[in-house]
Amino acid sequence: MQLNAVASGSPLPGQSFSYLWKALPSNNTVGITANITVNPVGPTTYVIAMSGGPCTVYDTINVFIGGLSVTHQITAITCNGATNGKIKLT
For strands 28-31 and 86-89, give the pairing.
unpaired
Q: What is d(CA 19, CA 31) in angstroms, rounded to the nearest whole number? A: 8
Residue-wise pLDDT for 17-65, tens only, equals 999 999 998 999 999 999 999 999 889 999 999 999 888 999 999 998 8
Which pLDDT score is estimated for 7? 86
Q: How far is CA 6 from CA 17, 24, 34, 35, in A?
A: 10, 21, 7, 9
DSSP state of 74: E
pTM over 0.75: no
Contact 48, 61 (CB under 8 A): yes
